Amino acid sequence: MKSKAVQDYYPDDVAHCYGCGKLNEHGNQIKTFWEGDETVSRFIPKEYHTAIPGYVYGGLIASLIDCHGTGTAALAAYRVEGREIDTLPPFRFVTASLQVDYLKPTPLGVELEIRGKIVEIKGRKVISEITLSANGEVTAKGKVVAVQMPEDMVKR
């Protein structure tokens, strides 16, 4: 049985993120899974997600790294507590800072693989290092500092 993505368990009132919310029909709806001690998301850009023709738009790459970072943080938080992602209370992180280094142009038209490694977990903060690859070659790398969402951010 294929494991479910952490985003599948974001509560409905915080599942509208353009990057990874299951309830945002216009968005990218990325899904983030564990693979051993790394996290992985995969995404096929649309034809219009272009920078210079033939290459993926850097803003999309930043967005994928961003949401992969918050998804990774949520996965890590469950694992620290020894809980499955379908147990309550749910974890939901937002980004405090994002660093992206564009190493080489990312070709458009293939599936991108985004992989994360957790480098620090401290209190409500999770820091991850992330790579983005196309055709097996890393074209961008990033670092995301994610913090657990303040409860008062949700307008209920």
C-alpha 80/C-alpha 135 separation (Å) is: 33
Query: How many residues can be counted in the chain?
Result: 156
Report which DSSP code applies to 149.
Answer: P
Closest contact distance (angstroms) between CB of 49 and a copy of itself is: 5
Sign for the pseudo-dihedral over CA of 99, 101, 102, 108: negative
Closest contact distance (angstroms) between CB of 37 and a copy of itself is: 25
Closest contact distance (angstroms) between CB of 51 and a copy of itself is: 5
Short-list 39, 33, 7, CA closest to 130: 39
Query: Whose Cβ is closer to a copy of itself: residue 82's or residue 123's?
Result: 123
Closest contact distance (angstroms) between CB of 78 and a copy of itself is: 19
> In the complex, which residues of this chain contact a copy of itself (CB under 8 A)?
13-14, 16-19, 21, 24-27, 46, 48-55, 57-60, 62-64, 66-67, 94-102, 105, 149, 153-155
Quote the tokens at residue 45: 């850009």
Query: Whose Cβ is closer to a copy of itself: residue 3's or residue 135's?
Result: 135
Contact by Cβ (8 Å): 30, 7: yes
Query: Whose Cβ is closer to a copy of itself: residue 49's or residue 115's?
Result: 49
The amino acid at residue 25 is: E
Residue ranges in the chain assigned as alpha helix (H) = 58-80
Closest contact distance (angstroms) between CB of 5 and a copy of itself is: 17
Query: Whose Cβ is closer to a copy of itself: residue 21's or residue 78's?
Result: 21
Query: Whose Cβ is closer to a copy of itself: residue 8's or residue 84's?
Result: 8
